[in-house]
Structure 1
Amino acid sequence: MPVDFTAIDFETANSSGASACSVGLVKVRDGQVVDRVHWYIRPPFPHDEFSEWNVRIHGITPEMVEGAPDWRTHLPALREFAGADVLVAHNATFDLGVIAKTSAAWGLEVPDYRSLCSLQVARRTYHLDSYRLPVAAMAAGFEGFSHHDALADAEACAAIIVHAAERHGADDVERLAHITRVKLGSIGPVAVATDRAANGPMALQ
């Protein structure tokens, strides 16, 4: 089944969407994971303070990112890794927002990407008491991973989309979005304009 996409997950230093401190990326081709990468990111001032709450959740400290490249290095690397793929994330609005806000904080042009939310796909695929990533991933047969590790979370997200595509008989992520009636998101001036022109208010009618 030719299901191709890149799954992505960010961890942030604090509540600011511009405070990305870690990202995991998982490339899927024909429904199989073919590549994965993880980077620590040095957040930009004034978004670089690590809150106690966030550190408690993901375990990343200021010392761990002190010598890491910042987003000016990581954005081109992300573009090279993901290419023109749809980016898949669990609560994609958050993760795509991190890309947009961190790019803006550095004065960089927001890249053009479409996105699919695995949280919303899971809601239209499984009958669960909770659709948190560990629970939805377990329904997809992916369990025992380290939640809030960016790479592990991206792999879990990828597993949900691959399993959902198989369950719905979808041969690509666009078809999966159509079947589950989950609207593809977009960031970046070209992607947003294209999305509005192609879909409009009647996109899911």
Structure 2
Amino acid sequence: MKVVAIDFETANETRSSPCSIGLAFIEDGAVARVEHHYIRPWDMRFAPFNIAFHGIGPGHVADADEFPAVLDGLRAKLDGALVLAHNAAFDISVIRRTCEHYRIAPPAFDYMCTVQVARSVWPSLPSHKLNVVGRHLGISFKHHDAAGDAYACGQVALAAAGQAGATGVHDLPARIGLTLGRLSQGDYAPSQSRHLPRQAPPPPRPVLPPGAERRLAGRTVVFTGQLDTMSRPDAQDLAAAMGARVVLSVTKAVDLVVAGPGAGAKLRTARERGLQVMDEEAWLALVG
């Protein structure tokens, strides 16, 4: 069976807006080759936060094919393959929603989520985001680049197979109690982990420099979208430790919104109300 790791980048918050796909093909126990293709979104709407996330804008895709043509060129490589994706719920939903938008059949394949794999094989890691797992394994790649992320995803699966004593990536699900997901026309099933990994010890409370515990005193903060360097709960805990009041909804009382890629209604509301909005880089600079 063919094994290919994939990764999508999207132009905006909708799943039907792929602007880039990377593929890494695993052969004979190694990543044999990597492909990258730009994709022209159907409405060419690029959200500023997505551009900041992956660096792709309208100029990169002006001459690219739209999704149906790109998929036609990749369908033979994906049909019948074992597809790997890190946070497969996102990447598989990009395929599903974009195929629905264009009213075309998706490719047919089984798939495995390497986030679930990493949680089972390396449960003590503080996070199982691709950059964290990649750093743990010593994988050198360009994060938030579709080809680089696909390559890293393939390497994570190979390393996990070796760690679990599997004969290869195909043998990995049985070793760690993972049920493969499935996508085909008229058929979808999510990838699921049957066995919970050992619970990692809770992270230590943030060690703050003198005075930092009041740095955000009096401020009401909302987090929305995806953060790269920490989980949203960790960011909320850090803000609270620095004196902030952390809430879940954007109200008149909120004066700071920290937004990452994928931020939707909360970000729009914040902008409409003229609230202060910052990205993750500015947030990290603020909290030191």
Instruction: State whether structure 2 residue 149 is matched by structure 1 residue 157.
Output: no
Distance 1:165 1:13 in 2: 33
SS at match of 1:10: strand
What TM-score do you get using the length of structure 1 for normalisation? 0.86
Instruction: State whether structure 2 residue 151 is matched by structure 1 residue 136.
Output: no
Which residue of structure 2 aligns with residue 105 of structure 1?
A: 101
User: Is the 2:79–2:109 contact (alpha carbons within 8 Å) kept by the matching residues of 1?
Assistant: no
What do the CA deviations read for 1:15-40 (whole angstroms, capped 9, x no partner)? Answer: 11100000000100121112211000
Distance 2:137 2:187 in 1: 30
Which residue of structure 1 aligns with residue 19 of structure 2?
A: 21
User: Is the 1:8–1:88 contact (alpha carbons within 8 Å) kept by the matching residues of 2?
Assistant: yes
CA RMSD of aligned residues (A): 2.2
Q: Which has the higher contact order (CA 8 A, sep 6+)?
A: 1
User: Is the 1:44–1:106 contact (alpha carbons within 8 Å) kept by the matching residues of 2?
Assistant: no
Structure 2 counterparts to residues 1-205 of structure 1, below 5 A: 5-45=3-43, 48-126=44-122, 127-143=124-140, 145-189=141-185, 192=188, 204=194
User: Is the 1:92–1:118 contact (alpha carbons within 8 Å) kept by the matching residues of 2?
Assistant: yes
User: Is the 2:162–2:168 contact (alpha carbons within 8 Å) kept by the matching residues of 1?
Assistant: no
Structure exhibiting the larger radius of gyration computed from Cα positions: 2
User: Is the 1:27–1:36 contact (alpha carbons within 8 Å) kept by the matching residues of 2?
Assistant: yes
SS at match of 1:99: helix
Q: Which moved more, 1:30-39 or 1:13-22?
A: 30-39
User: Is the 1:114–1:191 contact (alpha carbons within 8 Å) kept by the matching residues of 2?
Assistant: no
User: Is the 2:9–2:19 contact (alpha carbons within 8 Å) kept by the matching residues of 1?
Assistant: yes
Distance 1:133 1:42 in 2: 26
Gaps of 5+ in 2: 196-288
What TM-score do you get using the length of structure 2 for normalisation? 0.63
User: Is the 1:113–1:186 contact (alpha carbons within 8 Å) kept by the matching residues of 2?
Assistant: yes
Which consecutive aligned stretches of 4+ in structure 1 deviate over 3 angstroms post-superposition?
Answer: 189-192
Deviation at 1:103? 1.3
Deviation at 1:141? 2.8
Distance 1:173 1:83 in 2: 18
Q: Number of residue pairs matched?
A: 193
Distance 1:40 1:79 in 2: 16
What do the CA deviations read for 1:81-126 (whole angstroms, capped 9, x no partner)? Answer: 3342111010011101111111111111122121100111000111
SS at match of 1:73: helix
User: Is the 2:139–2:155 contact (alpha carbons within 8 Å) kept by the matching residues of 1?
Assistant: yes
Which residue of structure 1 aligns with residue 266 of structure 2?
A: none
Deviation at 1:172? 3.5
Distance 2:169 2:31 in 1: 15
User: Is the 1:42–1:68 contact (alpha carbons within 8 Å) kept by the matching residues of 2?
Assistant: yes
User: Is the 1:140–1:164 contact (alpha carbons within 8 Å) kept by the matching residues of 2?
Assistant: no
